[in-house]
Chain A
Amino acid sequence: MRFKTALFVALALCLAAAQAIGGTLDDVKKKGFVSAGVSGKVPGFSVPDDKGFWLGLDVDFCRAVAAAVFDDPNKVKFVPVTTKERFTALQTGEIDILSRNTTWTLQRDAEQGLEFVGTLFYDGQGFMVNKKLGVKSAKDLNGASICIQIGTTTEMNVSDYFAANGMKYKPVVFESADEAAVIYDSGRCDVYTTDASGLAARRTTLSKPEDNVILPEIISKEPLGPAVRQSDGQWVDIVRWTLFVLLNAEELGVTSKNVDQMLKSENPDVKRLLGTEGTYGEMLGLTKDWAYRIIKHVGNYGELFEKNVGPNTALKLERGLNAQWNKGGIMYAPPVR
């Protein structure tokens, strides 16, 4: 009896495994939700609120994908993944999208069997110093002691930057960003460095935020974007064009508030985007109104930026590089046509 049960279980497992190998879109539709790998610990990008509801730019992007597929932004299961296991989780199919402010680099693109669909947020590493040091530029930091979080690309970027400029520095390394910030606040090191998106948020938590300045230099390129498995072209396209819809909608002035009026718009670009003309959604394996769903439920890129990291949030980030290409930034999405 027991042997039979065991055999039964093994057989069922094999069947389940065999079924799982198929298109990601079919899989996702069958299980009824998109499973998204997120960090869970990055302010403004992915973090649960008091009630356990996920907030942030990375998180809202996953909701946009769910809206496109299911017409329901809440059909996402958020799986917190660490920096070490994130690629494994994606490769093995535990998650369908990796949206965990991951920097798009050649090595990751080529070696990890994954495909970055684009850039959701252009970040870069910066420095914060106390005003009383009188430092105006990162070039004046020769000999400074720097609080760094260990084991990140941050460490490497600092050493590259100082070597390139022929300067010396004293690293003071910490396991967590919190610890590094607290120590910086106590004055044990002159400089605190991390990605610019994190610097602004950290500054608000210091004992005297107004005494600290963020230096103008950005010393690294950190294009952060969602990634998916390389092997499934259709899913790559769906996720990539979800990002492009967010950007195009902002460029064309379609927001979650006016999207219903925009359905009557005579602008051919808007008509193609919202599916009142053409069958662009169906080419992706979705429905005609896929982009309408995304904008209606989640909003456009500008709205997401304002809500999660913009000037009215604790992060107080300006659009900068993340503005549209015609507004001084480098956000440029190919057209829907």
Chain B
Amino acid sequence: MYVKRERSPSLPPPRSEAGVVGWLRANLFSSWPNALMTLAGLALLLYSLPPFLKWAVIDANWLGDSREGCLPPLGDAAGACWVFIKVRLGLLMYGFYPEAERWRIDLAGILLAAAGGQLVAGSLLRAATGRGRRLTGLFPLAGVLLSLALFGILPGLVACAYLAAPDILARARPGRLLLGLAHRPQLHLAARLGLAAGAGAALALGFGAAGQGLAVALSLLAASLIFIALGAYGQSAASVRFSLLLGVYPVICYALLLGGGLDLPLVDTDNWGGLFLTLVIAGVGIATSLPVGILLALGRRSRMPVIKALSVSFIEFIRGVPLISVLFMASVMLPLTLPAGMHVNKLLRALVGVSLFYSAYMAEVVRGGLQAIPRGQYEAAEALGLRYWRVMRLVILPQALRLVIPGITNTFLGLLKDTTLVAVINLMDILGILKSALADTRWLGFTKEAYVFAGVVFWVICFGLSRYSMLLEKRLKPGRN
């Protein structure tokens, strides 16, 4: 009698379930409605994509540097005229920033890419082994080498100092070295603030005597460095890097981009423009609206009536008016209320307007997260004897912010795109430069190219931001409670 003792090997799946055909059946043609929608989608793509590609790529004109390159004898009038964008690329990226000084923007960009890139990579690779962490070290290395190669010794040294500072500060524990505070390695917040402000003010007076326009910036730089250094004890390099990015990087940028001393000629903000200006507005807006928004959200849930009333009325007032009217107020009404001859910088007015506006929106997003945290969490934290700020910082906010990452990203993307509204107060952001380019008599009529280019630039930036937030969400697993 034959008894089969082993399982016969399983048969391969039927051909209709495997490979490309199987994937198609499972995903695109699983049911009648699905099949219909697939076909409709394909038809739409076939209808719209080939003409667009023909216009934007196949028939497009890339060569030459004048309008003639796009007209019949030399080019093809049926295709896009990317020459128009090409000859204006410098203007579109940097605005009216003098060409000889544009390396300053590049340096600021490289610093941001190196420091920010390391943080981003670190936040995504935190689970990774030591090798992953060492890999993130490539960012500052590349940043320093690039600055050295492109801009020379001095900028390279600045980049080196800035990018290496987090690791040095985290290892060297300067708080202990400076003050011998072996027993209280982390100074109290107020003491740190006082020491830093004192040093900053002393420096300001010193520089001020020498008549340097850059005095304030340098003193601020020193003050924030001291503040961060005193608190660096026991912190990881990543968190020092984060504080440097928030506290020191803006001051470096301010000094570098505006100039007015140290062999850097002054470049007035009237000359700022293009994608650079868009990113400055978006960056400042994002960096201020999140912290201010968190404070406003906490204020709105506070038990202190004055703080609560102030927060609620601020949020509701700002949310009740459109951004465009905030910008108008800042550009048309505000100058009339100031004493004669006194001007607040136009860019500064726009920055304050955008930041305040988005703080109000951010506050409501964060409040949504705060409400989602069960009451038990607050009570448990208080039962441990934590005071209000510690409860918030250690228990509530980490959970609440993790929950609202999609909302925060949403607000950031909205902010980024709303920067184009500064066109109504005639700041030359990338869209403003494109519009003025359209009025050049030698290049009239290339409207399509201009708006397609602006659309692609914004899409690339927004898509990058939204992918990052999705990865971050996966890493932090907000579903886990």
Contacts and interface: CB of A to CB of B under 8 A. Distances in A.
Interface of A: 1-2, 4-5, 13, 16-21, 40-44, 47-52, 55, 77, 79-82, 84-85, 88-89, 91-94, 178, 182, 201-202, 204-206, 313-315
B341 A93 contact: yes
B340 A92 contact: yes
Interface in B341-365: 341-343, 346
B458 to A, nearest CB: 18
A68 B395 CA distance: 68
A248 B340 CA distance: 36
Interface stretch (B32-40, B295-303, B307-315, B441-449): B441-449
B229 interface: no
Contacts of B438: 41, 178
A186 to B, nearest CB: 12
Interface in B321-349: 328, 331-332, 335-336, 338-343, 346
A42 B340 contact: no
Contact of A1 (B201, B270, B342): B201
A82 B268 contact: no
Given A50-B91, A205-B445, A80 B340 contact: no
Interface stretch (B19-27, B50-58, B169-177, B422-430): B422-430
B96 interface: yes
B447 A20 contact: no
A79 B90 CA distance: 19
Contacts, number: 112
B436 A48 contact: yes
Given A48-B436, A85-B331, A92-B338, A1 B445 contact: no
21 contacts: A1-B197, A5-B201, A5-B204, A20-B340, A20-B341, A20-B342, A40-B439, A41-B436, A48-B440, A49-B442, A50-B90, A50-B91, A50-B440, A55-B440, A77-B268, A80-B436, A91-B336, A92-B335, A182-B447, A202-B444, A315-B441
B106 to A, nearest CB: 17
A201 B339 contact: no
Contacts of B425: 82, 85
Contacts of B439: 40-43, 47
Contacts of A201: 441, 444
A66 to B, nearest CB: 16
A21 B340 CA distance: 7
B398 interface: no
Nearest to A9: B216
A19 B340 CA distance: 10
Contacts of A40: 426, 428, 432, 436, 439
B414 interface: no
A95 B270 CA distance: 12
Nearest to A93: B341
B181 interface: no
A51 B342 contact: no
A33 to B, nearest CB: 10
Interface of B: 87-88, 90-91, 95-96, 99, 197-198, 201, 204, 268, 270, 328, 331-332, 335-336, 338-343, 346, 424-426, 428, 432, 435-442, 444-445, 447
Q: Looking at A19, A82, A201, which has the most chain B CB atoms within 10 Å of its CB?
A: A82
A17 B339 contact: yes
B436 A13 contact: no
A94 B436 contact: no
B192 to A, nearest CB: 14
Given A5-B204, A41-B436, A93 B331 contact: no
A28 B441 CA distance: 31
Where chain A touches its partner, the secondary structure class is mixed
Contacts of A77: 268, 270
Contacts of A314: 441-442, 444
A20 B444 CA distance: 41
A89 B440 contact: no
A42 B442 CA distance: 12
Q: Looking at B425, B432, B438, B439, which has the most chain A CB atoms within 10 Å of its CB?
A: B439
Contact of B341 (A1, A21, A50): A21
Given A18-B341, A88-B332, 20 more contacts: A1-B201, A2-B197, A2-B201, A17-B339, A17-B341, A41-B435, A42-B439, A47-B440, A48-B436, A50-B88, A51-B90, A85-B332, A88-B331, A91-B336, A92-B336, A92-B340, A92-B343, A178-B447, A205-B445, A313-B441
Contacts of B197: 1-2
Contact of A4 (B201, B328, B339, B436): B201
A18 to B, nearest CB: 8
B424 A82 contact: yes
Q: Looking at A19, A21, A42, A85, which has the most chain B CB atoms within 10 Å of its CB?
A: A85
B444 A17 contact: no
B133 to A, nearest CB: 39
A17 B342 contact: yes
A1 B198 contact: yes
Nearest to B441: A314
Nearest to A56: B441
Contacts of B447: 178, 182
Q: Which 3 pairs of residues, A with B, have the shortest CB-CB distance?
A: A20-B341, A205-B445, A314-B441
A81 B426 contact: yes
B88 A13 contact: no
B384 to A, nearest CB: 35
Q: Looking at A52, A89, A313, which has the most chain B CB atoms within 10 Å of its CB?
A: A52
A29 to B, nearest CB: 15
Nearest to A92: B335
Contacts of B340: 17, 20-21, 92-93
Nearest to A179: B447
Contacts of A41: 435-436, 438-439
Given A17-B340, A21-B340, A52 B96 contact: yes
A230 B301 CA distance: 53
A143 B470 CA distance: 56
Nearest to B94: A52
A79 B437 CA distance: 16
B228 to A, nearest CB: 18
A17 B342 CA distance: 5
Contacts of B332: 84-85, 88
